[in-house]
Copies of this chain bind each other. A is one copy, B any other.
Amino acid sequence: MSTKFKFLGFSSFLITTSSGTDILIDPYLNDNPVSPVKASGFEKVDLLLVSHGAFDHLGDSAEIAKHYGCPVICSGDSKLLLLERGVDKAQLIETTWGLTVKAAGIKVRPVESRHRSCVTLQNGCVVTANPLGFIIYTEDDTRVYNASDTALFTDLKLIGELHRPHIGLMNVTIENPFDFLPEFLTGEMTAYEAALASQWLRLDYAVACHYTQKDCEDIQIFINQLENTRSGERPYTKPIAMDAGQTFEYAPGGIAKVY
């Protein structure tokens, strides 16, 4: 009985639960140079989660939703864009902070993310909504927190207390390969802040994301910061940083491994 997290680069993950449910998160794949799989290349997708309306998160969601016919849990702006791109309304589950929904047997509670969610529709309308963090409850009660580009905020402690997530998918740094964006000197969280966030959430495992290459300074700082809090027998948050294509496997109360 285990949950597998396949890292696809940027903030994209394919989670396979112990019951075999495939949950895809923030699929930015077709234009992502390191993703080992493109939008139509999955065996199946049972559930798609879209945290917010950004090109590197909403990404290929329309193509995926149409190809696999899966339910999509998303923010209000993302829903409007996905409708416009031809996704069937019946697949789209719009929610906001707190409003728990269930699809494909998976319970998902959206929590605050301190970021911006924004899409531009064909009529020229710029629509915003609440960006969504997610607490994902798998069938074996493994609880996964998806941070989704949040800035650091103290209520991550509250989220930790209320939901006790085992694993967090944490934005630790930022990619700067885009000529249409400014150069950002830090991500929404610095590596230090992402480590703090992981501890405030009381994570067992903090899986770094929002990068293509793990051999960068921010990832090293994140790992060091979390490793340095280790002291004797005290539980601590263990950092995980993968190359795209690698999988982190987690068994409740048991062994975790990367391969």
Contact A98 B186 (CB under 8 A): yes
Q: How far is the CA of A134 from the CA of B93 in the complex (A)?
A: 29
- What are 28 pairs between A and B in contact, CB < 8 Å? A76-B116, A94-B182, A95-B184, A96-B188, A97-B115, A97-B188, A98-B151, A98-B189, A99-B186, A99-B187, A99-B188, A100-B185, A100-B186, A101-B184, A107-B185, A111-B151, A112-B114, A118-B129, A121-B124, A125-B126, A126-B127, A127-B128, A128-B129, A152-B158, A154-B154, A154-B157, A154-B158, A162-B193
Q: How far is the CA of A188 from the CA of B76 in the complex (A)?
A: 15
A155, CB-defined interface residue at 8 Å: yes
Q: A97-B114, A153-B155 are in contact. Are A126 and B184 (CB under 8 A)?
A: no
Min CB distance A201 to B, Å, is 14
Give 7 nearest A-B pairs by CB, closest first.
A98-B188, A98-B151, A100-B185, A97-B151, A100-B186, A126-B127, A99-B184
Q: How far is the CA of A57 from the CA of B107 in the complex (A)?
A: 27
A231, CB-defined interface residue at 8 Å: no
A3, CB-defined interface residue at 8 Å: no
| Interface of A toward B, CB cutoff 8 Å | 76-77, 80, 93-102, 107, 109, 111-112, 114-116, 118, 121, 123-130, 151-155, 157-158, 162, 174, 182-190, 193
Q: Please name all residues of chain B whose beta carbon is closer than 8 Å to the beta carbon of A126 when the two chains form the complex.
A: 77, 80, 121, 125, 127
**Chain copies in the assembly?**
3
Picked from B109, B183, B186, the residue with its CB within 8 Å of the CB of A186 is B109
Q: How far is the CA of A182 from the CA of B186 in the complex (A)?
A: 37
Q: A101-B185, A114-B97, A158-B154 are in contact. Are A125 and B125 (CB under 8 A)?
A: yes
Q: How far is the CA of A193 from the CA of B102 in the complex (A)?
A: 20
Min CB distance A122 to B, Å, is 10
Q: Please name all residues of chain B whose beta carbon is closer than 8 Å to the beta carbon of A154 when the two chains form the complex.
A: 154-155, 157-158
Q: Please name all residues of chain B whose beta carbon is closer than 8 Å to the beta carbon of A111 when the two chains form the complex.
A: 151
Min CB distance A49 to B, Å, is 14
Q: Please name all residues of chain B whose beta carbon is closer than 8 Å to the beta carbon of A109 when the two chains form the complex.
A: 186
Q: Please name all residues of chain B whose beta carbon is closer than 8 Å to the beta carbon of A99 when the two chains form the complex.
A: 174, 184, 186-188
Q: How far is the CA of A190 from the CA of B151 in the complex (A)?
A: 25
- Chain B residue nearest in CB terms to A119: B126
Min CB distance A45 to B, Å, is 19
Most chain B CB inside 10 Å of its own CB: which residue of A116, A129, A189: A116
